[in-house]
Structures are given as structure tokens and as C-alpha cells.
Structure 1
Amino acid sequence: MHNMNNGQSDAFFQQFRHWDLNLLVVLEALFCEQGNVSRAALRVGLSQSAMSHALNRLREMLDDPLFVKQGHRMHPTSRAIALAPVIAGWLENIRGQLKPPVFDPATVQQEINVAIPEHLERLVLPALLGFLRQQAPGLHLHSRPVPMSQLNEAFAQGRIDMAIIGNDWEPKASYQHCLLTESRFVYVYDARQLHFAESVSLAELAAVPQLASNYSHKTATIIDNHFTVHGLTRRIMATSGGITAIPAILAECPMLSILPEIMIADHPLFDSLVKRPFEPDSVRATLHLVWHKLHEHDLVQHFVRDWIIRHFAGPPD
């Protein structure tokens, strides 16, 4: 994190208790109108009496008359003449710094690091990278594989800017998150290895040899918990580290695998497998986008987050 401590003393801050910096805007208006109180008042939206009161406060604050009447005109003092360009430059600089920045994705030169599990990359990266290539060619996006247990550390160290995660990670209060989508579960198997009746009970599924997937990097999944709630235990015979090898394993072994439908929908490796809904449909996997609150208003990150959210929302009705 950037160290913002510039070593200013307590006296530096305390002297501003006696200075009303809002009066510098009044002083600039008086400069522009050559000390004419009435016209300066119109500039800043004050009444003439309020402007006169502000001028008196300026004189007290700066210990100088600033403008002196000679004949029918007000003339600046040497102190006012010296201050005029300084105040004008300072106000213009502050105005430029405080006004909302203009964001042009076509001119951005930046890197964004997103933690995306490998089995979800195909849902996001092809379309996102295609979009960035057209709209923000200088924005380089990198997918970083980060285990769930290391997400907090990765955020804290700045190794990732945002993450697409499942429903088995609880973000801290310092994070913002958005639900991207929900998915029901399905169980998949190779018809050459297993055969099922039209209706299969949860107990019957529990008795079938199963291939678990450690895609979430957690020992107990919501599927395991669902079986446990009903007094059952899955007959897990093997576990794969991801989902890519699952079709080949099921083609060789009489096992089934229970997976979120979103992970395998339209996945060519799973075309040869039978896919059946896992009941009840209320057992669902959720997908979230997570980012740190520090970057809530970062224009580049907001640009990427907005695309991801709209991508999962699908086309408008």
C-alpha cells in the first residue's frame, strides 16, 4: 500500500484552523472583478453584504487591506498583486484534481489480475478478451489461479484485483461482492458403464461409486453436506483436481460425478456423457464477483467488473 505520510508537522495542520480556505474563492472573484464587490458577489452567488463580510474576513486573515478605494475604483495592494497568480494557479490545480476524471478505455495502459478457477475460464475469458481487444487494447488481463484458502492473502498483497468464486468462500467486510449467477447440480455418467432407472432416490445415488472433483479446493462441498443432512454418505472412490479429466475417467470406470451444470454446459468434453438433474433443485451453486472496497471507484476495474456482470446477466429481455 502506498505510504501517504508526507511528514507534515502538527503545526502545519493546526494553522489551518485559523484560515478559511473557502475565502480564497472569494478572493479570486475579487481579483477577476478588480475589487468590485457587487460583481464579485454575482460570480460566486453571494449577496453583496455577504461578499463585503467575506472581504473583511480576508483582510483579517491575511492582515492586509487587499483592495483600497481610490476615486471610484478599488485598487489592489502589492500583497494582493503578489497573491493573485498564486491563488489562481492553486484553485485551477485543485479544480483539475477534484473534477471527475475522464475515462477512455481506448487509451488505457494497465494490467488487471483476476482470480478465475481454471474450470470457469472458458465461461469468461474468450468473450472478455475479445471485448478488450476491440474496446481497450492497452488493457492487459491476466487470469491468476489462486486457491480459496489464499484469496485474502492474494488481495492483501495486491496480486489480484478481483476474483470470480463459488459459494464456499466468505469475504471479509472489506470486500464488495456481486452475485453473478446460480446453477443447479447435475450428475453425469457414461452410459456404457452405468445404467439408472427413470427415478433415482438420494440413497440410491449415495450407494453408487462416485468421482468427486476438488474444483473448489475444499474437503466438504455443499453436495457432501446435503447427503449428510439426510443421514447419507457419498461412496467416493476417487477425486480429481479439476474437471477436464472427468469424462475420460468416467469412460473407463463405473462411477458418476455430481457437478454444477454451468461448469459443463456446452463443454465438448462432456458431450458423450449422460447428464441428469440432481434433486432437489434447491441445492444450487452460486458464482460471485469479489473485489476490495478500496477499488470500488477505480475506473479501469469498474469497466472490467461491469462487463463481467453484464456478461453473466445475459442479453436484455
Structure 2
Amino acid sequence: MNNLRAIDLNLLVVLEALLAERHISRAALRLHLSQPAVSHALGRLRQLLDDPLLVRGQGGLVLTARAHELSGPLAEALAQVRILLGPSGFQPATARRTFRLAMSDYGAMVVLPRLLRAVRKAAPGIDLVVTQASREAMTAKVADGEIDAALGVFANPPESVRAQTLFEDDYACAVDAATVRDNGRLDQVAYLARSHVLVATHSERVDAIDAAVAKLGGRRKIACVLPHWSVAPALIAGTNLVLTTARRSLAALQEDPRFAVFDPPFALPGLTFSMIWHERIEADPGHMWLRERVVAAAAGQESGESISLRG
């Protein structure tokens, strides 16, 4: 058994960065250290844990089985250490910290600009690193401690993952206005007769819209599948394609005469946009502060007023 007194706890911070980044140079940037310093720390970690931890694989470094096992317990342990050693209250004006968030470009469009302004104003020493992944991957990364929080539509997160509803949205359709009649909409028959643009990751190929269409006995013909919300409206311009997506993502098209935006010709469930995080950082003062800023940004607020957080 390793003697705890002989272990430099800073090595665990380096290990956390390496497991998340899986790249020595990116881990060094994240930690504000030199690449040789991180490489030296990795060597010490390999000796300490008697495991290579990261090995060369296709496309770069990959985690060993031992490293995967360490990821969750390490994140939980460091979260508790930060709470234990941190100040009794979070001081945003002087804090230096990096928060790792995950969201789609829809979430980034709706929340991130206001969130970043609020963070830069109150806590200039705090950095945000934003990544994108499927809903399943984001949930797994939250559970494993690879990211601090994720924003999106999450149906059934694990019991250890906390959730906060940020806002409700619904679906709307958009088409090139030149392809519809004066009423500016499509009925169910015309909707299903056209080809469609689907915004989804590969793992979410069958979405709520397809499920609703299937109940009607129909099936959409998907002409293009892409993971980015922001570029989707441009793809329907000059075509007879239909885009059915979250209404807020179509806000810019509402007043654009080149497009027609209308309600779907059949019932679709609403969208609950949420923030999720792991219970291990529930009481982290810095994370609590960030969650308040996220809630305020999603609500369209930029003030520093206190927001009630529900688990």
C-alpha cells in the first residue's frame, strides 16, 4: 500500500487533467504548466500506480483499463479535497479555475453568450472549456467526472446525477418560403412527402420527431443528418427540404421573409432543457456559483441576484 505522506497530491491534479484531455500538451495548457513538467509528472504517476495509464493508440493516447477505473474515484476525491481546502465561501473576483461544460451548439447559442459575459464580469480568472457530445456521452462524462456540467435534453439521468430545469421549448418547422403557399405552412401529407434535415448525433438517429411520425404510420425521408443546429437553417434555403427543430433555434428566421416558420402538422412532445452535474460536486461553492450563473443566463438575466437551485 502506498504511504499517503509520500504522495504529492499535486500529481492527482495532473492525473485528472491527463485523464480528461488524453493529450500531454492540452493537459499542460489546462494546468498552466510546461509540457516537460506534465510528462515528468506522468512518469511519476506511472511509477506510483504501477500502470502506464495512457498508451499510444489509433488517433492518439488512450486510457488503460486501470486509468478508466481511476477516473470516477479520482474526480470524486478531488472534488471533496477542493471543498475541504477551499475557502468557506467562493470569491469569484479572485478565483482562478477552469470549468468544463458540455452542450450542443443550440445550448451554446441560447445560454453561452450571456453566461460568458456574466462570468467575465464577476470572475475574470475563471475559464470555461466547452465541448460537444451526444446526450449519452455527456451524461457519462458528468458521471465519470470528465466534465463539470452538461446542458441539454436528458430523459433519465442516473441517480447520482443531479438535474436542474433551465427552460421549456417546443418544436417548430422551417422551410424556404418560396416552396409553400400563402398560408406559409405544410399539412401532414405535404410534410411527409418532402425530404428532411435531421439535427442529431449518430447515436440519436431516431429522435422524438421520427417516433411521433411512426405512430401516425408514416416515415420521414432524411436527406441530411448533421450534428450542428446553427448551420441547419442555411441548408434549407433554395431547396424544398424541411427542418423540424427546437423553436428557439429558429428565432432568427421568424422575421426573415425568405423562410416560413410554422407549427408541426401533428402533435410533438415538448423539450425540457436542463443542466446536469454529479452529486459529488453538489456542495462545491465554486460549482454552486457557476450553476447560479447558468440558471440566470438561461432565464435571460445578467444580474447577480441569488437563484434558487433545485436538485
Band of TM-score, shorter chain: 0.5 to 0.7
Residues 208-234 of structure 1: CA deviation (Å, up to 9, x unaligned) = 222222268501111111111122212
Kindly indicate whether the alpha-carbon contact (under 8 Å) linking 2:102 and 2:132 is maintained by their aligned counterparts in 1. Answer: yes
Q: TM-score, normalised by structure 2?
A: 0.63
Partners in 2 of 1:98 and 1:124 — Cα distance? 31
User: Is the Cα–Cα contact under 8 Å of residues 247 and 270 in structure 1 kept in the other structure?
Assistant: no
For the pair 1:213 / 2:191, whether they are aligned, the reply is no
Secondary structure at the aligned position of 2:132 is classed as coil
1 CA distance for matches of 2:2 and 2:93? Answer: 30
Q: Does 1:249 align with 2:235?
A: yes
How many angstroms apart in 2 are the aligned matches of 1:271 and 1:129?
A: 32
Task: Tell me, yes or no, if the aligned pair for 1:146 and 1:154 is still in contact at 8 Å.
Answer: no
Once residues 113 and 98 of structure 1 are traced to their aligned partners in structure 2, the CA distance between those partners, rounded to angstroms, is: 21
Say whether 1:292 aligns with 2:289: no
Question: Which residue in 2 is equivalent to 1:304?
Answer: 290
1:225 to 211, 223, 230: 211
Partner of 1:122: 109
C-alpha RMSD over aligned residues:
3.2
Moved over 4 A (4+): 3-7, 97-100, 196-200, 267-271, 279-282
| Structure 1 residue 184, shift from structure 2 partner | 1.4
Contact kept? 1:184, 1:281, Cα under 8 Å = no
- Tell me which residue corresponds to 1:160: 147
- Bigger shift: residues 294-303 or 155-164: 155-164
1:171 to 152, 157, 182: 157
2:133 to 135, 146, 156: 146
In percent, how many aligned pairs have the same letter? Answer: 21
| Structure 1 residues 203 and 192: alpha-carbon distance in aligned structure 2, compared to 1, 3 A threshold | closer
Indicate the structure whose relative CO is greater, using CA pairs within 8 Å and at least 6 residues apart: 2
Structure 1 residue 307: deviation in Å?
1.4
After TM superposition, list the pairs within 5 Å mapping 1:9-88 onto structure 2: none
2:100 maps to what in 1? 113
Where in structure 2 are there 5+ consecutive unaligned residues? 6-83, 306-311
The CA deviation at 1:272 is: 3.3
The count of residues paired between Structure 1 and Structure 2 equals 224
Distance 2:226 2:133 in 1: 17
Flag structure 1 segments of 5+ consecutive residues without an equivalent. 8-96
Seen in structure 2, the aligned counterparts of structure 1 residues 298 and 215 have a Cα distance that, compared at 3 Å, is: same
Amino acid at match of 2:216: H
Q: 1:146 to 1:198 in 2, by over 3 A?
A: closer
Q: CA deviation at 1:177?
A: 0.3
Alpha carbons of structure 1 residues 196 and 230: separation in structure 2 relative to 1, 3 Å: farther
Match for residue 41 of structure 1? none
**CA apart distance, 1:235:** 2.7
Q: In structure 1, give the amino acid aligned to 2:148.
A: D
Is the contact made by 2:171 and 2:246 (CA closer than 8 Å) also made in structure 1?
yes
Aligned CA distance change for structure 1 residues 212 and 199 (closer, same or farther; 3 Å): closer
Q: Which residue of 2 aligns with 1:277?
A: 263
Q: Normalising by structure 1, what TM-score?
A: 0.62
Say if 1:236 and 1:178 are closer, same or farther in 2 by CA, change over 3 A.
same
Asked if structure 2 preserves the Cα contact closer than 8 Å seen for 1:244 and 1:269, the reply is no
Pick closer, same or farther for the CA change 1:247–1:233 going to 2, 3 Å.
Answer: same
Indicate if the aligned counterparts of 2:104 and 2:228 stay in contact, CA closer than 8 A: no
Q: 1:216 to 1:133 in 2, by over 3 A?
A: farther
